[in-house]
Amino acid sequence: MFFFIIIGFLVFFLFFNWLLGHQKGNIVLDLDDRYINRKKYVAAIQTQLESEGREVTYVGNNIFIIDGKKYMFTERNVSMGGVPLQRTVLQPVD
């Protein structure tokens, strides 16, 4: 019985990490402010990535070119300690 509980916990943990965007090749950003306006949100993503030393261009339609690679960004709202957090996940596009 204990074995099944451990396996269930591991499966839940891996699924939760996948849900939060922690996959190979993804860029995950947690910005300080919450953005409703799309233009301000895109500008904040660009500023954050440039401060990390990356070369960033916003193409449009949720597509960024980061260091020569195409990424699509998605927004996720995550509750951390009861406080909603706006998480940005940039996924590589083939």
Q: Is residue 4 part of a domain?
A: no
Q: What is the pLDDT of residues 35-55, one digit of tens each?
A: 999 999 999 999 999 999 999
Q: Is residue 59 part of a domain?
A: yes
What per-residue confidence (pLDDT) applies to 37? 93
What per-residue confidence (pLDDT) applies to 17? 52
Q: Is residue 20 part of a domain?
A: no
Residue 45, judged by CB atoms within 10 A of its CB (0-12, 13-18, 19+), counts as buried
Using a cut of 0.75, tell me whether the model's pTM lies above it: no
The arithmetic mean of pLDDT across residues 50-68, rounded, is 94
Q: Is residue 74 part of a domain?
A: yes
- Whichever domain contains 48, its CATH number is 3.30.1370
In whole angstroms, what is the distance from residue 92 CA to residue 34 CA? 24
Q: What residue spans of the chain are helical by DSSP H?
A: 2-19, 38-51
40-48 long-range CB contacts below 8 Å, 24 or more apart?
A: 41/75, 45/73, 45/88, 45/90
Q: Which residues contact 47 (CB under 8 A, 6 or more apart)?
A: none
